[in-house]
Amino acid sequence: MFDIYTIIFLALAVFIFLRLRSVLGQRTGRERPPYDPFSGRDGVRGSANANDKVVTLPPRGDAAARPAEVAAEPAAAVGERLKGIAVPGSAVASGLQAIAEADSSFDPQHFLAGARAAYEMIVTAFAEGDRRSLRNLLSKEVFEGFDAAIRDRESRGETAETKFVSIDTAEISSAELRGRIAQVTLRFVSQLISVTRDRTGAVVDGSDEKVTEVTDVWTFARDVSSRDPNWKLVATEAGH
């Protein structure tokens, strides 16, 4: 009796295994990477986390070890993902296409969402004097400029407060690949409540009630040959 039951249980186990295998399938190497909540969302509220990434891309992997059609697939589909981001045939579209061809994991939609989040985090971190967060999000040169402005503010005993009401516009105005360095420039139009106070708490600039429209033109860059998925802010200027 024991031998018969053992055989029955083994047969059931094999049957269940084969059923699960047929339902779940096998890994083929072409699965989409796990969803990244940071790169896909429109913005981040509250203080910045020093470990957050500006734009997180899917794992790069070894393109040489994959079939040619798999490695080329994201670049071929980038035209579809450019809808609503760049006009077909424009300089912006050509620049984004060049970046996608150099880095098959580049997704313009995710980049734009991540850039919006980075813009809000950087502005908030600057107001709070959060150098640790800024250092991870800015190039060395831009960080030095931000740090100098924070030190100047601190020397006067002033504090700044910035609250985002909305980001009305976040559009890519230019994109290009210089060697292995990808550069994407965006124009942001946001509604902010910004105020600066002195040591006594008196308002010396801005208002804690008035909403102000602010336009910024920022450039992000990344070495597409690097495994580091982070884009960093490399240039800023006031827009109009």
Give per-residue pLDDT as tens, 104-140: 889 999 999 999 999 999 999 999 999 999 999 999 9
- CA atoms of 205 and 193, how far apart (whole Å): 11
Q: Indicate the pTM of the whole model.
A: 0.67
Res 69 pLDDT > 60: no
- pLDDT by residue (tens digit) across 77-114? 666 777 788 998 899 999 999 999 999 889 999 999 99
User: In whole angstroms, how far apart are CA 210 and each of 46, 97, 164, 182, 239?
Assistant: 20, 41, 12, 38, 20
Helix (H, G, I), strand (E, B) or coil at 36: coil
pLDDT in tens, 18-66: 443 433 333 333 333 222 222 333 332 333 333 333 333 333 333 333 3
User: What CATH number labels 74-239?
Assistant: 3.10.450.240
Tell me what the mean pLDDT of segment 165-183 comes to: 96
Rg of the chain over all Cα atoms, to the nearest angstrom: 24
Q: State the DSSP H helix or E strand holding residue 187, giving kind and residue range, or none if neither.
A: strand 181-197
Helices 140-155 and 108-128: angle between axes, nearest 10 degrees: 30
As a whole number of angstroms, the distance between CA 48 and CA 118 comes to: 9
Domain ranges of the chain: 74-239
13-23: per-residue pLDDT in tens?
A: 555 444 434 33
